[in-house]
Amino acid sequence: MRLIKLFLILFFSIVIVKTSRAQEIIAEVTCNYEQVPASNKDYLVDFDRVVKDYINNHRWIGKNYGNDKVKVSISILFVSGNSDNVYNAKVVIESQRPLFDGESSRGKTTKILRFLDDKWEFVFMKGQTLDHEERRFDPLTSFLDYYMLTILGFDSDTYEKELSGTPLFERAKNIVQLGSSSSRSGWKKTSGAAYSKWDLSEELLNVKMLPVRVGFFNYHYNGLDIKSSQPAQAAKNILQALEQIASIKKTYPNSIIVKNFFDLKYVEIADFFKDYPDRKVYKKLIDLDKQHYKEYEKYLK
């Protein structure tokens, strides 16, 4: 009996320790292998689980998020594979966070980012385990590290304090710099309006883009998170935040983070002001975000 009790104590102690070290991210990973040659598909049978475990079981920044972990969705479309187990994939990465405004916000979330990265080239062997090492470039794990740090940086920018995601964006930039020296595609600077990890990191750490990140903080922390308790102040803060973010479009019309913001938020923005007393607010929204004017016109009418 004593041995049984001792075993139970040890078992639950391990469970408690694991719980106390609960990670910051909850990721869901889905894969589409239809374009992969039949000879390679068997090697990828557990790839989604391997990626999910790598992300969810790592302590990225050492903070206790409790039950408010960052939710991440990763959709991977494999576009090629060869006999050397080299794969190319397109990836859609999305994240969201809870809203914090008392009981009225319980269970509600807001989208934070969504990126399509169509250049992920890596090697993967069946049964392979993934090891975390940010200082060493690996085309598989460095890709995941880059986006998880970027996601956590965005998340920190929305609720801790203005620009609190900077250390995480700097870590992500270090990974990009390591990757840019490799022969793998997707890590170097691009030209024109094409998306790249390099350009995203450059924007996030560019002092001229700080109004976007400050606006991002005010939109979430001083806007959405106080909507129920202080509706008038929330609306005022959100309008100011939108003006801050939109002001950058004049100088940087191809800004990745500005486009990401309005593409994700325009429906949320339009709905936020549905009970706003001054209906002219939608004309202002159209002026700030002309690309999504049809959505604002629906509410205006």
Q: What is the pLDDT of residues 213-268, one digit of tens each?
A: 999 999 999 999 999 899 999 999 999 999 999 999 888 999 999 999 999 999 99
Nearest to 271 by CA among 260, 281, 256, 261: 281
Its sign, for the CA torsion 226, 227, 228, 229, is positive
97/258 Cα distance (integer angstroms):
19
Integer CA distances (angstroms), 253 to 59, 88, 247, 248, 301, in order: 36, 30, 10, 8, 29
pLDDT score recorded for residue 39: 86
pLDDT for residue 101: 75
| Phi, psi (rounded to 5 degrees) for 118 | -100, 15
pLDDT of residue 194: 75
pLDDT at 21: 39
In 163-277, where does DSSP find H-type helix?
A: 166-180, 197-204, 210-221, 231-247, 256-272
CA distance 63 to 71: 15
| CA 180/CA 46 separation, integer angstroms | 29
Neighbours of 4 (CB within 10 A): 8
Q: What does 63-86 look like in DSSP terms, one character per residue?
A: ---TT-PEEEEEEEEEEEE-TT-E
pLDDT in 10s for each residue of the chain, 301 residues: 434 433 433 343 333 333 333 478 999 999 999 999 988 888 998 999 999 999 999 999 887 777 788 999 999 999 999 988 999 999 999 999 988 876 656 678 999 999 999 999 999 998 899 999 999 999 999 999 999 999 999 999 998 789 999 999 999 999 999 999 988 888 988 766 678 999 999 999 999 999 999 999 999 999 999 998 999 999 999 999 999 999 998 889 999 999 999 999 999 999 999 999 999 999 999 999 999 999 999 998 8
Distances (CA, A) of 240 to 3, 80, 133, 221: 64, 46, 41, 13
- pLDDT the model gives residue 14: 38
Q: What is the largest CA-CA distance in the chain?
A: 75
SS3 category, 183: coil
pTM of the model: 0.90
Q: What integer pLDDT is reported at residue 16 of this predicted model?
A: 36
CA-nearest of 166, 127, 161, 128 to 150 is 166
Question: Shortest CA distance to 43 belongs to which of 51, 56, 33, 53?
Answer: 33
- Asked if 262 and 212 touch (Cβ cutoff 8 Å), the reply is no
99 within 8 A of 105, measured Cβ to Cβ: yes
Helices and strands in the chain: count of H runs, count of E runs:
11, 4
